[in-house]
Structures are given as structure tokens and as C-alpha cells.
Amino acid sequence: MDRIDFRSDTVSWPTPAMREAMAHARVGDDVYEEDPTVRRLEDLAAERVGKEAGLFVASGTMGNLAATLVHAGRGDEAILGRESHVFQWEAGGMASLGGVMPHTLENDDDGRMDLDAVEGAVREDDPHLPRTRLLLVENTFGGCGGTALPPEYFAAMREIAERHGLAVHLDGARLFNAAVAQGIDASKLTADVDSVTFCLSKGLCAPVGSVLCGSNEFVAEARRARKRLGGGMRQAGVLAAAGVIALESMISRLAEDHENARLLAEELSGLKGVRVEPSRVQTNIVHFELDASTGLTPEELGRRLQADYGIGMSTYPGNLCRAVTHYWLGKNEVRALVGAVGAILDNR
């Protein structure tokens, strides 16, 4: 990459090995299920998360939406955390395209919904009420700074789902970050969910795409939902080839991104006026705030980082700054960001 960009891991470019594989990918018409590279990616993905089958989709948003359309119908309800990506950042797709009502619950600082609150939110069978069909969970939990939730949380969700005949879908956009951070296999985090989406296009560096995984029966239905959403792609093997490399060689190195994120948080914590808790950094996302004494808003800091230092960083309402580490950002880039933030705070 030719710039320092901490806005997200989505900005990561494909690696040289990926570009090479893309150039030489064997392809076919994937709507006819004839693209050998897509099939290889889907099989590999399913194996990694311990499910029967996978479906290559254009984005994490499309994967979550296709899964929701399969699990729930018009007038049904899905229970999910208030800060979850599906609720906050996916353009209301479940409601606008599926007629599915989001039933949001507060989530704690790690992104967990309270189990009693979930149980209490499940509707009784009464013609006045919508039908609860789906529990939607997320790992890592992006809105809470990339927290890695443990298998036990999902096992508890499974129990509730079993009691009430609900499906469980996991938005695992950064599932492998969650697995690597806990030193466990990703399949341990997906054993208790019916379906899971993960992104190839974030820390794993592929240019495009996500995979939605579940049972054979589920994926057959999801294939129809994907087509309905306009997501049936043709010689998609050109894209899937990068995804294969992502799954084969980019997962274990995510530990480096986590180390760099921790380093970033530690160094930022040494700057006067920056509020950050390094011990809360579990994966590749660093959330921090600016003290009022700095007289600087996150927007202003972000603007000056870009204008004066050519460094990208995200800011959000509520005094939140976010920096995300990825393959193209090492310790030198971390030090460049910290140095620039320090210089801006000194010279305001």
C-alpha cells in the first residue's frame, strides 16, 4: 500500500500472492455452480467453521441479509444488540427488504446481550404479537472495539434458541480475529450457531467478498436469497482465488495485527490528553477519546492527521477515535501515527 491508513482493515489491499492467484484463477459460471475456484473457496470456508456448506457473497452485509431472509419472514422478529453492525450499519436491510423487525436489546461493553433479557424478549405465541424467529450475534464485536467473545456465550444463546425454536446467526465479519485472540479454532466459536458470515475483505486482505456458511439445506435456501438480492455472480473465481489465499495463509498472522494494536494503545496512553485503555484492546481495533482539556475534537484531529501527515484514521460522534491495524501497517506505521497525534496535541 502506498499510504498509511488506519481507518479500517477494509482498506487493506490484496497481497502480491493474491493478485497472482487472481490472474491465473480457473473460472466458470458460478450461477450454474460451475466455477471451480468459487467451489473450492466455499468448501474451504465451510471446513474452517465446521459447517456443511458455504456460499460466496459480495459482502458481509449481503451474507447477513441473505441469512436473515432464510431464517425469518415478513412480520417476524430478530433479537440483536443495539450496537450490533447489522442494526447500526447495514442500511436497515432486514426491515426494508425482508420485512423483519429488529428487536434490539442493550449490549454490555463487550457486546454481550444479557441472557435473561434475551429470554424475556422472546415473544409468546399470541396473535397480537410478532413471531420471534432469530437471535443475531456478533464476534468480534466491532461497535465495542473488536472484543472477542468466548464460546460459552454462544452456547448460552443456543440453549435459549433451543428452548424457543429460534435460529441463531453469527455476524462473524472478524471471526478469525476472535479465534486467534483466544487461541482457539474458529469452529469452536461457530459450533452453536446455525449460520455464520465472515469477511475475506478485512484483515484477511482479499479485495472483495464474504462467505456465508451453514447446513446444506440452509445454504441451498441462501443461494436463492442471494440471487434475489442480485448477488449471483458469474466468473467470480477471479475474486474467490484471493479468498482461498486469505483462508490458507492470512489467518494465523492476524496475531501480529493484534500485537500492533496493543502497542498502539500503549503508546497512545502515554500522550497527555488521550484516554485509552490498552487492556481493553483484544484484537485489531483501538478506540480512544480526547480529553476536553485538549480543546480538540476527534474530527479536527482526523482532519489534521490526513492533511498534515497523510495518515487516515476514523472518528465517530461521541468523542470517539478509531484506529484499526492490518497487514499493511507495522510497528513503523504505528509509531508514525502516535508521533503525529502527539505533535498535533503539542501544537494546537
Ligand X SMILES: *Cc1c(COP(=O)(O)O)cnc(C)c1O
| Residues binding ligand X (CB under 6 A) | 59-61, 85, 138, 142, 171, 173, 199, 201, 210
**Shorter beta-carbon distance to ligand X: residue 133 or 202:** 202
- Specify the 3-state DSSP secondary structure of 76: strand
Residue nearest to ligand X (CB): 60
Q: How far is the CB of 309 from ligand X (least distance, A)?
A: 26
Partnered with residue 311 across adjacent β-strands are: 4
- Specify the 3-state DSSP secondary structure of 327: coil
Size of the chain in residues: 348
**Shorter beta-carbon distance to ligand X: residue 321 or 345:** 321
Q: How far is the CB of 142 from ligand X (least distance, A)?
A: 4
Beta strands in 215-334 (DSSP E): 274-275, 285-290, 311-312, 314-316, 320-324
**Shorter beta-carbon distance to ligand X: residue 60 or 145:** 60
* CA gap 265, 268 in Å, rounded: 5
**Shorter beta-carbon distance to ligand X: residue 76 or 138:** 138
Q: Is 210 exposed, middle or buried (0-12, 13-18, 19+ CB in 10 A)?
A: buried
Q: How far is the CB of 102 from ligand X (least distance, A)?
A: 14
* CA gap 208, 230 in Å, rounded: 16
**Shorter beta-carbon distance to ligand X: residue 26 or 82:** 82
Residues 6 or more apart in contact with residue 293 via CB below 8 angstroms = 273
Q: How far is the CB of 317 from ligand X (least distance, A)?
A: 18
φ, ψ at 309 (rounded to 5°): -125, -5
Q: How far is the CB of 242 from ligand X (least distance, A)?
A: 14
